[in-house]
């Protein structure tokens, strides 16, 4: 018994083309999305390091520069209040901004190391758990610092002009902090499973 040929019954074999041979977008390893994000983080880290360095130099310079007969305007939208610029106020303002950028610089430093392991295709390392917890802690400190600083400015420097942050303003930052700590636990469980599989092999 002879089988009918494909051509005789009108069926054509599918042709292979470049579109059919496309590989799915990789998320780990060299040349993946993680490596592109690692490059973006490297650039952002360098820029933020430069900004933080300039702010630190400005904070040191603010100890010595003369500020006699200088005023500063504290405003929140349309309203504003002019007040004399004092040395403690200048040091507090520049120092708060420097600490803010410095905190995010440390966060980027940890993220760069995490994405380096993603680029290598080995994300579940115990060091990544520690890095994620440090990122969550720094985020908590920065969020609390901004909340306290704005409250001090609203109460002492510009009462009636600036309003302190309410509890509702902390919902999004607190949620982000909790997500980071949850990710740390996910990475910890992944590192444990990898260690167990290595011991089993």
pLDDT of residue 18: 45
First to last CA, the chain: 52
Q: How many CB atoms lie within 10 A of CB 167?
A: 8
* Orientation of helix 33-61 relative to helix 87-119, angle to 10°: 160
Could you read off the pLDDT tens digit of each residue along the chain, which spans 201 residues? 454 444 444 445 445 444 444 555 677 767 777 888 888 999 999 999 999 999 999 999 988 888 777 777 666 555 666 767 777 778 888 888 999 999 999 999 999 999 888 888 778 888 899 999 999 999 999 998 888 887 777 676 666 656 667 777 788 888 999 999 999 999 888 888 878 877 776
* Sequence-distant contacts of 96-101: CB under 8 A, at least 24 apart: 96/145, 96/149, 97/55, 98/52, 98/55, 98/56, 98/58, 98/59, 99/145, 100/142, 100/145, 100/146, 101/48, 101/51, 101/52, 101/55
Three-state DSSP state, 189:
helix
């Amino acid at each position: 018994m002879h089988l009918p040929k494909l051509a005789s019954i009108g069926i054509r074999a599918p042709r292979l083309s470049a579109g059919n041979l496309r590989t799915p977008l990789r998320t780990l390893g060299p040349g993946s999305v993680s490596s592109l994000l690692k490059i973006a983080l490297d650039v952002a880290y360098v820029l933020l390091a430069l900004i933080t360095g300039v702010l630190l130099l400005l904070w040191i310079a603010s100890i010595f520069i003369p500020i006699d007969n200088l005023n500063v305007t504290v405003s929140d939208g349309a309203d504003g209040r002019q007040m004399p610029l004092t040395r403690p106020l200048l040091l507090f303002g520049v120092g708060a901004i420097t600490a803010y950028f410095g905190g995010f610089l440390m966060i980027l430093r940890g993220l760069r190391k995490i994405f380096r392991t993603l680029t290598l295709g080995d994300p579940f390392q115990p060091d990544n758990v520690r890095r994620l917890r440090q990122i969550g802690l720094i985020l908590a400190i920065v969020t609390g610092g901004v909340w306290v600083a704005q409250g001090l400015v609203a109460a002492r420097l510009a009462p009636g002009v600036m309003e302190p942050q309410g509890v509702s303003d902390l919902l999004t930052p607190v949620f982000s902090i909790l997500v980071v700590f949850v990710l740390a636990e996910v990475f910890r469980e992944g590192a444990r499973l990898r260690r167990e599989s290595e011991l089993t092999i």
